[in-house]
Amino acid sequence: MALETADPKSTDRIVGAAKRSFPPIVDQRSLVLVLGTLPGEESLRRVEYYAHPRNLFWPIIAALVGAPAPVEYATKLALVTAHRIALWDVCALGERLASADATIRAEQPNMIDALLDSHPAIRAVVFNGSTARRLYDRHFVRRSGLAYLAMPSTSPAHARLGFADKLVQWSALRGVLGID
C-alpha cells in the first residue's frame, strides 16, 4: 500500500510500508482512553507509546498525578495503569511521511467501538492533538455517555506551546480521574 502523486516534492507522496499501531494499554479499571494518531518513527523503533525523548506525554501525565517522571517503559505503563488511563491510537494502520501526522493517508481505524464496549468504566476519550480528534470524528460517531476532551498534542512537532501551557490544558484530565 503506497500513495504516489506526480509531484515528487509533494507531502502527499508517501512511499513505503504502512505503519501499524500497538495493542491498547487498557484494563477493566480504565476510566480514560487517551488516543493518539499513529506511533511516530521513534515509537515504532522502540515499540513504545510516546517514545520520542522530547514528547511531553509522560512528563505531563506524571505531573498531573503528582509522580516523578518515569524513565523505564515498564514504569511508564505502570503509571498510566495505576491511574486508570488507557492508551491507544485512532489508526490501526496508515501511511505517513516520517512522523508527520498531517501526512497520514489511507488510514484504517482501530476497533475503538469494540474497546469501549468491552471496557464500560471508560467515561472519557482524550484526543492527544487535533489530528487524533479529526481522524476519530472521520471514522466514529461520538457516544452520548462519554466526555470528549481535545488536548494539545504532546509531540515535539507541536512546539508552539511549551510544557507549562500544555500541562494547564491537560489538567482537565484531573477531574475525570478524580484527582484533586
Active site residues: 55
Q: Lay out the sheet containing 19-20: strands in order across.
A: 19-20, 91-95, 105-109
Distance CA 51, CA 44 (A): 8
Q: CA 44, CA 5: separation in Å to the nearest integer? A: 26
Cell 511549551 found at: 162
